[in-house]
Amino acid sequence: MVKTAFSSIEKSTQKTKEWLHEMQDDLGWEDENMVYIAFRSVIQTLRDRLPLEEAIELGDELPMVMKGIYYEGYSTRHKPDKIKNREEFFQKVQEKTPKRPIKTEEATRAVFHLLENRLGGAGEIKQVRSNLPKDIQNLWKSSTSKK
C-alpha cells in the first residue's frame, strides 16, 4: 500500500511538472519559480471568484499536487469575491504576489490556456467560464479563437 501511495505522489508530481513546463513554454519565461508563483496566484484568484460548488468541481479535476496549491488557504465558508472585471481580477492576482510583481494579464491567459488544454474535454471549463464576467471570459483562448 505504501508503494502505491508513493507511486501516486510521484505520478502527480510528474504531471504537475509537465503542466508547469507547458505553461512556462507558453509564457516563454526562464524562471521556473515565477511560473509557479504565477500559476498559484491566478488559480487561487480564479478559485476565490467562483461559487463554492464550482470551485470544488474545478479543484477535483486537478492533479493531486496541484490540488494542494489550489486549496492552500481556502475555506468552505468562502464567499465568492465580487470581481466585476479583468482589472479587478489582475489586481487580485498581483495581491497574491506582493514581493514578486508579475505580468498579470500574460500569466492569467497562460493559466486559462493551460486549464483549457488539460481540462477542456471535461466540460468543467465551460462551467467555470460561465461564472465569470464577460471581459474575464474573453481571456480564455477559446473565446478569442471563436471571434
Domain 2-145 grouped into CATH 1.10.357.10: no
Neighbours of 90 (CB within 10 A): 21
Q: Which sequence spans correspond to the domains of the chain?
A: 2-145
Residue 140 φ/ψ, nearest 5 degrees: -75, 140
pLDDT digits (tens, 9 = 90+) for 117-126: 999 766 889 9
For the whole model, what pTM was predicted?
A: 0.90
Percent of the chain with pLDDT over 90: 80
Rounded distance, CA 137 to CA 143, Å? Answer: 7
Residue 25 φ/ψ, nearest 5 degrees: -65, -40
pLDDT digits (tens, 9 = 90+) for 97-124: 978 889 999 999 999 999 999 997 668 8
